[in-house]
Structure 1
Amino acid sequence: MPFTLTVPEGLLSQQAQAQVFAGLTDALLDVADLTGNAFMTANIVGTINVLPRQHVLAGGTPVAAAFIELKLPEIALASAEAKQAFFEKAADVVERAAEGRLKREHIWSNIVYAPEGAWGIAGRSYTNAEFARAIQGAATAS
């Protein structure tokens, strides 16, 4: 489940970037009720893009902002309540890490869903059913 976090230079320290990624991971696991699931935890991956300040824009002008994108299989976080809970937790994590250098209204999040069968891990394509079985198998093994 790749995260992409995009922020301008100077918004988050190196330590805060690591804290944000860990916090986003925990938020996703918590909202999906999968905390401790080895399969899910190992497959939450991502990148942190730190761009020059003038390359992070809102309303056409540079702004201290954070953009959080999460890519998931279609079956994950499908309910409106789960999405809302994730967005709230993700904004909390980023806002806290920015230590006052970021207005909450400048945190944008979105979820992109991979179509059925278009989720790949370690060179293997997973259908939604196979993905669910892998998650359940890891839960059973714990």
Structure 2
Amino acid sequence: MPITLTVSEGLLSSQAQAQAFAGLTDAVLDVAGLTGNTFMTANVIGTINVLPVDHVLAAGKPVAAAFVELKLPEIALATAEAKRAFIEKATDVVERAAEGRIKREHIWSNIVYAPEGAWGIAGQSYSNVDLVGAIQNAAMS
């Protein structure tokens, strides 16, 4: 499940970027109740984008900011409570990693869902039922 972390240059050291991404991975697995699930853990992937300071804007002006985007199948984190929990955890992770170099109100998160049957892993398209089956099979192994 791809996570995209976008930050202003100088906000996070290379080590803090890695720690933040690991924390975001843990957050999505925890909120989904899938910590330790081998199928899901292997498929929490993503990118870290570090942009020049003048390319990250809020209210039309450069700002030290971070954006977390999580892409999931529409069956995942379907409840409002799960969405809130992920966003809170993601914000906490980035805020800690920035060590005071960012205001909490400059950390934005969103969750985007892939439509039914539009989730692909290793060239295979998964329906929601297929994806749940793969997750459950990994839990039984």
TM-score range, shorter chain: over 0.9
The answer for the alignment partner of 1:139 in structure 2 is 139
The 5 A counterparts of 1:29-108 are 29-108=29-108
Per-residue CA deviations over 1:26-65 (Å, capped at 9, x if unaligned) read 0001000100000000000000000000000000000000
By how many angstroms is 1:25 displaced?
A: 0.3
- In structure 1, how many angstroms separate the alpha carbons of the residues matched to 2:4 and 2:31? 18
- In structure 2, how many angstroms separate the alpha carbons of the residues matched to 1:104 and 1:129? 37
Look up the SS of the partner of 1:36 in the other structure: coil
* TM-score of the aligned structures, taking structure 1 as reference length: 0.99
Gaps of 5+ in 1: none
Q: Kindly indicate whether residue 22 of structure 2 is the aligned counterpart of residue 22 of structure 1.
A: yes
The sequence identity of aligned pairs, in percent, is 79
Per-residue CA deviations over 1:104-132 (Å, capped at 9, x if unaligned) read 00000001100000000000000000000
Look up the SS of the partner of 1:125 in the other structure: strand
Look up the SS of the partner of 2:138 in the other structure: helix
| 2:66 maps to amino acid | A
* TM-score of the aligned structures, taking structure 2 as reference length: 0.99
- In structure 1, how many angstroms separate the alpha carbons of the residues matched to 2:104 and 2:139? 35
Look up the SS of the partner of 1:102 in the other structure: coil
| 1:120 maps to amino acid | G
- In structure 1, how many angstroms separate the alpha carbons of the residues matched to 2:135 and 2:61? 43
| 1:91 maps to amino acid | T
- In structure 1, how many angstroms separate the alpha carbons of the residues matched to 2:13 and 2:106? 18
- In structure 1, how many angstroms separate the alpha carbons of the residues matched to 2:140 and 2:6? 35
Residue-pair matches, total: 141
- In structure 1, how many angstroms separate the alpha carbons of the residues matched to 2:103 and 2:133? 40
Structure 1: which 4+ aligned runs deviate by more than 3 Å?
none
By how many angstroms is 1:69 displaced?
A: 0.3
| 1:8 maps to amino acid | S
| 1:37 maps to amino acid | N
Look up the SS of the partner of 1:117 in the other structure: coil
Gaps of 5+ in 2: none
